[in-house]
Amino acid sequence: MGTENFRQLAAYNHWANLRLYGAALELPEEAYRRSTGVFFGSLHGTLNHLLLTDRIWLKRLTGTGEHPDRLDAILHDDRRDLLRARIAEDARLNELVESYTGADLMEPIAYQTTSGKPYRQPRQDILLHLFNHQTHHRGQAHACCSILTGSEPPSLDLLAFQRGVPAPNLG
């Protein structure tokens, strides 16, 4: 994959997050926090996990930023604060991806997992994982919205992004 592919994935990631948060903000508080059986329990738990893991990977890629060591930590209890943090992290990720050259993508990055196990992988493999992980858990969050409302949440399809379907203005 080249730099343009990763730039598109970073832009898509932000778009999909805004669409998902738009749906999350419409839910009553109790529903937003209700356990639906997904891995991180609720929509709230899943959205916090996504922010947390992006922070972990961005710290590994840049050496800067903070994150807790638990993958189920709640970074923000208030969903509006969580949204603001999500928007900031998406901007940080977009800026980072924009700065990469093809050679940067091939560069191996050394890091440790949250359990301390060392790894070394090309930056492009880390980015592929980061975006794939986002899609995986956004799918769970999307299912939460469907379960909680009984209706179809907004589409998060990459094709919808590519076709110019707008994201809500949540800023």
CA–CA gap between residue 54 and residue 161 (Å, rounded): 21
129 known ligand binder: no
CA–CA gap between residue 49 and residue 56 (Å, rounded): 10
CA distances from 131 to 34, 63, 81, 120 (A): 26, 19, 22, 18
136 known ligand binder: no
Residue 121: beta bridge partners?
109
CA–CA gap between residue 24 and residue 31 (Å, rounded): 9
44 known ligand binder: no
Structure-block tokens of residue 114 = 């949250």
Do the Cβ atoms of 82 and 58 come closer than 8 Å?
A: no
- Eight-state DSSP code of residue 74: -
CA–CA gap between residue 34 and residue 45 (Å, rounded): 10
Backbone angles phi, psi at 77, to 5 degrees: -80, -35
Binding residues for a divalent metal cation, as ranges, are: 49, 133, 137
Binding residues, as ranges, are: 49, 133, 137
